Amino acid sequence: MTALNERKVAVVGCGFVGSASAFALMESGLFSEMVLIDVNKEKAEGEALDISHGLPFAKPMQIYAGDYKDAGDAAVVVVTAGAGQKPGETRLDLVKKNVSIFKSIIPEIAKYNTEGILLIVANPVDILTYAAAKLSGFPENRVFGSGTVLDTARFKYLLGEHLSVDSRSVHAFIIGEHGDSEIAAWSSANVSGIPIHDFCEMRGHFEHEKAMKEIAENVKNSAYGIIEKKGATYYGIAMSVRRICEAIIRDEKSILPISSIQHGENGIDDVALSMPAIVGRKGVEGLVPIRLSDKEKEQLKASADTLKKVLDDAL
């Protein structure tokens, strides 16, 4: 068993998402060592060099391309390897390809690293988080997915724009699948403690139903729109990866909607999906039971059922 280096991160998969995440992590100053791993070693080497050349403007660290052995002492292993969505494809369409890639990657990681945290980013992230937990044999608190952290950021951004207020003062979650069945948890949404509808009215917006529908649809379809225009999404997820790593490494116990295996909460069992959770150095330290309306609970259950069907077919 290799002792962990608390200041080391490994990024597996150096495509758009992996390289953007590596760049964001370099800038974060959270780590002093980062290994990049990709089946295409040259790509990993190229990214490591390119990102290293920014170091004189950031904080010193070692960045290099390596293999799974080099990830043995990483405190966090970020897994972005896998095919991305093509225009028109859903995240669930990626299941077969990416589960098969995970069957080769995860046991390799777990062979050398037994103590670190596995942060799953590749899609469909909920299915792959479940698969990674089973394939690694790690305790479940140490295997979780970026889940709806990105969708929640999109939600806050859009609400911030709609209400002309700093998106960081918006408290609202997207929960469930990171994908088409996700749910905007409106009933608990607020701006600095003021219920969302009250704040909307303060800002001169009174057509709540219409605005809620438009904003939730916009969040859900964001990735499709970006992929249509530029072929992939990566900056938003890179910042999400950075934020999650920050919560872990600094033991912040921040509440983030990561994807983890559920055990009976809201009547959902043995499937990974996103609910707000406390994230710290031990990984997932507990779920936060935010208030949900009966309709939101039903939608969450339906989201879990969708994922469960895919899981049953995929694993």
> Considering beta carbons, is residue 71 or 290 the nearer one to ligand 6V0?
71
DSSP single-letter state for residue 40: S
Burial class (CB in 10 A: 0-12, 13-18, 19+), 205: middle
List the one residue from 6, 39, 250, 298 that touches ligand 6V0 (CB under 6 A).
39
**107 has binding-site annotation:** no
Mutual angle of helices 149-163 and 208-230, in 10-degree steps: 120
Which one of 58-66, 98-106, 181-189, 300-308 is the stretch in contact with ligand 6V0 (CB under 6 A)?
98-106
Q: Within 10 A of 291 (CB to CB), how many other CB atoms are there?
A: 8
Cα–Cα distance measured from residue 141 to residue 95, given in angstroms and rounded to the nearest whole number: 23
> Following CA atoms 96, 98, 102, 105 in sequence, which dihedral angle do they give, to the nearest 10 degrees?
130
- To the nearest whole angstrom, how small is the minimum distance from the Cβ of residue 301 to ligand 6V0? 22
Active site residue 205: no
Q: SS3 for 176?
A: strand
Instruction: Map residues 172-211 to x or -, x wherever contact with ligand 6V0 holds by CB under 6 A.
Output: ------x---------------------------------
> Considering beta carbons, is residue 13 or 196 the nearer one to ligand 6V0?
13
> Considering beta carbons, is residue 81 or 143 the nearer one to ligand 6V0?
81
Q: Within 10 A of 264 (CB to CB), how many other CB atoms are there?
A: 8
Cα–Cα distance measured from residue 35 to residue 112, given in angstroms and rounded to the nearest whole number: 14
Instruction: Map residues 55-94 to x or -, x wherever contact with ligand 6V0 holds by CB under 6 A.
Output: -------------------------xxxxxx--------x
Contact of 187 with 212, CB cutoff 8 Å: no
Q: Within 10 A of 187 (CB to CB), how many other CB atoms are there?
A: 15
List the one residue from 232, 255, 287, 302 that touches ligand 6V0 (CB under 6 A).
232
From 174, 178, 169, 179, select the one nearest 153 (Cα to Cα): 174
Q: Which of 53, 162, 178, 263 is catalytic?
A: 178
Tell me the catalytic residues. 178
Q: Residues annotated in the binding site, as ranges?
A: 13-18, 38, 43, 68, 82-83, 85, 91, 98, 104, 121-126, 146, 151-154, 156, 171, 233
Q: Residues annotated in the binding site for beta-D-fructose 1,6-bisphosphate, as ranges?
A: 156, 171
- Residues lying near ligand 6V0 in the complex (CB under 6 A) are found at 12-18, 38-40, 43, 80-85, 94, 98, 101, 104-105, 121-123, 125, 146, 150, 178, 232-233, 237
